[in-house]
Structure 1
Amino acid sequence: MKLDMFSEIQDPRPWSPDHEHTRITEALEQARLADELGYGCWWQVEHHGAEEHSLSSAPELFLAALSQQTRRIRLGHAAVLAPTAINHPIRIAERAAMLDHLSNGRVEMGLTRSTAPEWRLFGIDPAGVRDQVADTFRQVPRMWAGDTTVTGGVPVLPAPYQRPHPPLWQAASTPASFEEAGRRGVGVLGTTLWEPLDRVRRLVELYRTAAADCREPVGAFVNDQVAFFTFVHCAETDEQAMRDGAAAAAAWYTARALVFFEAAEAFVENMAREQALVDAPDGGGLAGAFLRAESAAYGGPNRAQLAIGRILQGETVPDDELFEALSEQDSLIVGSPETCRKKLRAYADLGIDRLMCFQQVGALPHESVLRSMRLIGDLIPEFDSEPAVTPAVTPLG
């Protein structure tokens, strides 16, 4: 299992006059350190209008800067917002290919649908989003291969530096999206932050089954890797990790993310889609079977799910209570190097290929983030014996 870094460039209040510049330059320093320590990939999100939650509104520019300030670490979009009004497929293909040249072939590219607040910001009809993302997954690899039938005879330049093209990924948060990523033959980018490890294991199995059956990937090859991100904070002792503010950071992120993504409304919509899969005459595919098995095996929500439900209803859950509930289901990696080693091993045993360590979270001080990165960096050789290099990929057929 490779240990990667995941960055949103979070910017919690209270704000100093130069808070944005400070956060961005700190993120650059963190990325340079990640490169020195041997982390596998730096994954940068894309969000718009996110205020405290994320300053990462132009990840392609941030990653371009990293391409000139780092040597080995791979550079990942996690993920490009693929609705056409936000990022047209031609611009996605052009920017990623240029970044691939600037970085000498270190790009990993994920795509995602985005969420309601960003659709609203860009004037997007949610009803067309899924089809637009599907079209982008089909079109971008063809553009990279020089196929001009999707662009009216006009070539999209440059072609990527990697041959046949950078690995493709899809951000996923539901069983249906994990199945969808596998059937497309692209890697899956998930989160363990609010998921118990047993559910993560079953999501990995669901994805693996779908990817194994993929005979016509959207790209030139099947990228069957699984990546998950979760909150990681390491200190000299478990007690020091808490004194650094780990509980408050995890609770702050949970509350801010649920509000920014308008998770209450999204939860209701997703429940309706999942019920339709459960009730589908054809069985609803792998996701339908997953959901029926889950319903039969588990009698009710766990402590973390109950706490998140209270937040969705507008209740304030104390930091320590929420942190303990999340820790109880092993969805956080916080503590001393020995504690973090054990928790990392549990993730590796699930068959995860890349763990995206989310370390700059909330109000954690920059120096504490750097220290955590170094302590986790010391563990990298135990989990990844291979250096971070451009993967060798071969077209199918």
Structure 2
Amino acid sequence: MDFILMSEGDTPVGLTHEHRYRELIEEVLLAERVGFDAFGSSEQHVAIGTATVSAPEVFYPYVMALTSRIRFIHLVTLLPTRMNHALRVAERIATEDILSNGRVELGTGRGNTTLALRAFEVDPTENKAQWREGIEVIRRAFLDDPFSYVGEHYKIPPRSLVPKPLQTPHPPISAAAGSPNSVETAAAMGIGAIMGGFYLGYDLVENMLRLYDETLAATTHERPATPRKMVLVSGGMHCAETTALAREQARPLFEMSKLSTDAFERLSKLSQDYAYMGAVKNVDFDDEEYLFEHSQGFLVGDPDHCAEHVQRYADMGVDALVLRVDSLPHDQLMRSIELFGKYVIPRFKHPRNVVRPADDVLAGIRAARPAHEEALRRFLSGHDLEYSSEVLR
């Protein structure tokens, strides 16, 4: 399982965006040091609270130059034509792929706030079709030379992409998939799916994962596929020395969750394509026990408790876990990243290297002794007495 640190640069009242961006850079650098596989941010425009990263394609190259191992994934690039022309996205991703030495991935979506959609004059009844055509344009630009495309929203004559990306067949592509229909679409297209984000419990995510596998297996893909089952913990991951402390520090995340999901119900009324988002109205954001332990929107606790939650995802067959670490004071975020990287990630990446308590090791040694002694007796019984005596000495 891959572990992806996600932050949207949430900037508290009284702080400047400049200062928050400098903090965010420190958080990404720490994430690389302690073992996170990737960093990602969403593309949010004219947002009020919760997110400030409107130009990740500008932010990423700066941090790419400061890092050497950690990957960068766009979570997500918006593909309505009024926001991002698909050919421009292909050009930018190819450029980032070169600058990062093959460390970039493209997550895609169609927008989930009325603030942004209306600001860019995006029709919510058309942006799903625009997203789908945009994916095809990007893949053709990456794979075909020359490429062309004719559809409802794009009509591109034969051209050759400049520059070309480094990764083969191309940087991995995925899609935000909040509904079963979106999950099926992503799997049928042969791209990754970023699932979760609606605080509706683990069963929903598990069903989505199963649907993705079934659809992927039943589909023949003409183009190279980049399948990946990714799950988003959208409310937040927060790790502290004790679970009680982690919960106390993480409670402000509930307000962030209320604010970020406030647009979901409004969107659900604007287009049938967003109808599924209306289910969030049934979530009780005052039910602390449900949110922390059962909603799938949070991963909060001490390292042991966090590892228990991660194990649930591992048992489901999740390929990558996207953990939002944001909307709390910088020092708490740094400590959370450090604890999770040092004490949780290794349990799933390098379990044989995790140091165990001495009592556990001794208990294992004692439990193994009878089998070893029996094997030794069988060995000695097959040799002459002189050799046996020598071994016993």
Q: TM-score, normalised by structure 1?
A: 0.80
C-alpha distance in 2 between matches for 1:273 and 1:337: 36
1:148, distance to aligned residue in structure 2 (A) = 3.0
Q: What's the counterpart of residue 257 of structure 1?
A: 260
1:305, distance to aligned residue in structure 2 (A) = 6.4
C-alpha distance in 1 between matches for 2:274 and 2:251: 33
Q: Aligned in 2, Cα 1:385/1:225: closer, same or farther, shift over 3 Å?
A: farther
Residue identity matched to 2:148: T
Count of residues in Structure 1 that have an aligned counterpart in Structure 2: 337
C-alpha distance in 1 between matches for 2:22 and 2:135: 33
Q: Aligned in 2, Cα 1:330/1:133: closer, same or farther, shift over 3 Å?
A: closer
Q: What secondary structure sits across from 1:369 in the alignment?
A: helix
What CA deviation, in whole Å up to 9, does each residue of 1:225-275 have, x standing for no partner? 1111212100000122133x20122x112111022xx21223346778779
Q: What secondary structure sits across from 2:101 in the alignment?
A: coil
Match of 1:178 among 183, 189, 193: 183
Matched, 1:205 2:203: no
Q: What secondary structure sits across from 1:349 in the alignment?
A: helix
1:44/1:63 contact within 8 Å kept: no
Structure 2: runs of 5+ lacking an equivalent: 150-155, 352-393
C-alpha distance in 1 between matches for 2:320 and 2:18: 30
1:202, distance to aligned residue in structure 2 (A) = 0.7
Matched, 1:142 2:156: no
Q: What's the counterpart of residue 357 of structure 1?
A: 323
C-alpha distance in 1 between matches for 2:214 and 2:104: 26
1:158, distance to aligned residue in structure 2 (A) = 0.4
Q: Aligned in 2, Cα 1:367/1:124: closer, same or farther, shift over 3 Å?
A: same
What CA deviation, in whole Å up to 9, does each residue of 1:280-299 have, x standing for no partner? xxxxxxxxxxxxxxxxxxxx
1:62, distance to aligned residue in structure 2 (A) = 1.0
Match of 1:374 among 321, 334, 338: 338
Q: What's the counterpart of residue 334 of structure 1?
A: 300
2:200/2:283 contact within 8 Å kept: no
2:125/2:271 contact within 8 Å kept: no
Q: What's the counterpart of residue 251 of structure 2?
A: 247
Residue identity matched to 1:227: M
Q: What's the counterpart of residue 313 of structure 2?
A: 347
Q: Aligned in 2, Cα 1:374/1:51: closer, same or farther, shift over 3 Å?
A: same
1:147, distance to aligned residue in structure 2 (A) = 2.8
Match of 2:192 among 184, 187, 190: 187
Residue identity matched to 2:213: R
Match of 1:157 among 162, 174, 181: 162
Q: How do 1:42-57 residues align onto structure 2 when only pairs under 5 Å count?
A: 42-57=39-54
C-alpha distance in 2 between matches for 1:212 and 1:66: 37
Residue identity matched to 1:380: I
Greater Rg by CA: 2
Q: Aligned in 2, Cα 1:193/1:343: closer, same or farther, shift over 3 Å?
A: farther
Q: TM-score, normalised by structure 2?
A: 0.81
Residue identity matched to 1:8: E
Greater relative CO (CA pairs within 8 A, separation 6+):
1
1:170/1:188 contact within 8 Å kept: yes
Q: CA RMSD in A?
A: 2.1
Q: How do 1:82-97 residues align onto structure 2 when only pairs under 5 Å count?
A: 82-97=79-94
1:4, distance to aligned residue in structure 2 (A) = 1.4
Residue identity matched to 1:247: R
Residue identity matched to 2:309: K
